[in-house]
Structure 1
Amino acid sequence: MRNFYHRQNQHRNRSAYTAIKLVVLAILMFCFTFALVPLYDVFCDITGINGKTDKKIAHQSFFVDEDRTVKVEFVTYVNPKIGWKFDTEIKRLTVYPGETRTITYKATNNTSVDSIGQAIPSVTPGSAAKYLNKTECFCFNHQYLAAGKDTELTLVFYVDPAIPNDIKTLTLSYTMFKAKSKPVT
């Protein structure tokens, strides 16, 4: 009989220990979920993957390298949920590193309701993202657009002269997403 109680206590102890391990594991998984976004941002900053660009306003060096050129391609995507048309007439531009250029995009709200959009930039190749500096960009803010209306959106940028010589072409793409379901008045 004593053996029976001893085995039953061992079983309870193992069950309690397993339950504690599972609770601790669940807490760790929960905490890890919240840490994923900042960890991903750090990973992208270190590796240059995903072509994320800094949201801070860059300060241009006044040196323009006229001994070489870089092709900058402009690509636009629109999330279908927003119901907008979003594009630029200029699809490709050749620039001198350090030269400031201005590009105009056009957004049209094709729906019958006012809406707010947000453009998310990405640069390819990812290693070129830190060399594309936007001094003014519609992507810094949400864009309010009334139903059936259109607007021009401005991008002022330059390619840093420190860009490696092996990067001859870079692509700046924007995806327009719906930012909020109701505009703020």
Structure 2
Amino acid sequence: MDNRILLRKLLVIAVVMFGFAYALNPFYRQICEALGLNVLTQKDGTVERPANTQVDLNRSVTIEFDGNAQGPWRFRPTVNSMSVHPGELTTVMYEVVNTQKREMNAQAIPSYAPQSATPYFLKVECFCFKQQTLKANEARQMPVVFYIDPKLPKDVKTITLSYTFFEVGGGLVKTAAN
């Protein structure tokens, strides 16, 4: 008799825990949305640009672009550098070519120089936000949409944006033995 009561209590606890975990994700998303945390796009899918950003036409910053490939890729920016005004929304394209005869998954990781400029380099859209799947011998141009926060220290005249593009999953090929 005592075992049945204990089993019922444990089942109720398990169901409550499952329900709490299930409800936690939408609850977390609602809190983040209400507080404006980690929101990259609006509900209709359009890009959201902060309302208070103003373009500083009295100042220019040179942005240098770099691409490094770890693996069987050709990966490079389509331009080496450009001059932008802080607050100005800008797009640059990176080109990647899968040189293998198989589909591959990859991810790009950004880095910035000088490192102090990192919080001021704001990406609105970037291929680095998610993994990329490239078919055998596929070539693709991928955009980075960004702006430089006008609060960037005045002594920073040049920022280098560098991406390292690498294969995710190690290129495991499924065979009959797997």
**TM-score above 0.5:** yes
Q: What root-mean-square deviation, in Å, do the aligned CA atoms of Structure 1 and Structure 2 show?
A: 1.8
Equivalent of 1:63 in 43, 49, 54? 54
Give yes or no for the alignment of 1:93 onto 2:82.
yes
Deviation at 1:71, TM superposition (A): 0.5
Normalised to the residue count of structure 1, the TM-score between the two structures is: 0.65
Equivalent of 1:116 in 101, 105, 122? 105
Contact 2:53 2:150 in 1 (8 A): no
Q: Which consecutive residues of structure 1, in runs of 5 or more, have no partner in the other structure?
A: 1-54
- The secondary structure found in structure 2 opposite 1:63 is coil
- Partner in structure 1 of residue 92 of structure 2: 103
- The secondary structure found in structure 1 opposite 2:118 is helix
Deviation at 1:59, TM superposition (A): 4.3
Normalised to the residue count of structure 2, the TM-score between the two structures is: 0.67
Partners of 2:78 and 2:103 lie apart in 1 by 25
Aligned AA (2:53):
F
Deviations 1:105-162 (A, max 9, x none): 1110001111011000000000000000000000001010001111111100000000
Contact 1:114 1:182 in 2 (8 A): no
Give yes or no for the alignment of 1:84 onto 2:73.
yes
Aligned AA (1:168):
K
- Partner in structure 2 of residue 24 of structure 1: none
Deviations 1:16-56 (A, max 9, x none): xxxxxxxxxxxxxxxxxxxxxxxxxxxxxxxxxxxxxxx87
Equivalent of 1:147 in 133, 136, 151? 136
- The secondary structure found in structure 2 opposite 1:65 is coil
Partners of 2:39 and 2:67 lie apart in 1 by 22
Identical aligned residues as a percent: 38
Contact 2:91 2:143 in 1 (8 A): yes
Q: Which runs of 4 or more aligned residues in structure 1 lie more than 6 Å from their structure 2 counterparts after TM superposition?
A: none
- The secondary structure found in structure 2 opposite 1:139 is helix
- The secondary structure found in structure 1 opposite 2:168 is strand
Partners of 1:154 and 1:170 lie apart in 2 by 18
Larger Rg: 1
Partners of 1:167 and 1:156 lie apart in 2 by 20
Aligned AA (1:170):
I
- The secondary structure found in structure 2 opposite 1:97 is coil
